[in-house]
Homo-oligomer: A and B are copies of this chain.
């Protein structure tokens, strides 16, 4: 097994933290996107969309999409559970995981992609979309802050893949788009201290 990685990508980080939380040792192969390695025929044969992360199995089959990679690893290594403990719990973790991805991480990525110099010429940058996405992130932070006043982690009492997705959104916010959790959002701030003090946070 081998993980095609893109070190600064929040999606690749989701999988790296997941692997670290499981205590697994999976070799990483960093892909040089700036040099176009992800558009090479060899890589496109593995993932026709040219995206990272990508998990290659020993038989050559490849799993793309962060959530699909996590699900596979969860099935092979169920402990500690990071995607729920029973049917209803798994559904609620998936609900929160998707909310964190669709409502928080993806808009955060959108702010970056539609403003950053490194994306000029790689995508059609739409500054208005960056603005709307920034406002969405602010609104979702306020919502999450309230939610997190009542519990320790995004999906309940345990740390899960939903926390990982949210964490990676805020790592990107801080490093790349100047969005930080305001100190007066106590629910969100305390959650942030909790998750970033885990030994896996810098994976």
Contacts and interface: CB of A to CB of B under 8 A. Distances in A.
10 contacts: A57-B88, A63-B95, A64-B99, A67-B98, A68-B92, A72-B90, A76-B87, A124-B128, A126-B126, A126-B128
Contacts of A143: 48-49
Interface string A69-107: 101100110000000000110111011001100010000
Contact of A91 (B63, B91, B98, B129): B63
A132 interface: yes
> How many copies of this chain does one complex carry?
2
Given A103-B49, A128-B124, A143-B48, A92 B63 contact: yes
A144 to B, nearest CB: 10
B67 A99 contact: no
Contact of A67 (B48, B64, B94, B103): B94
B128 A65 contact: no
B91 A68 contact: yes
Nearest to A66: B98
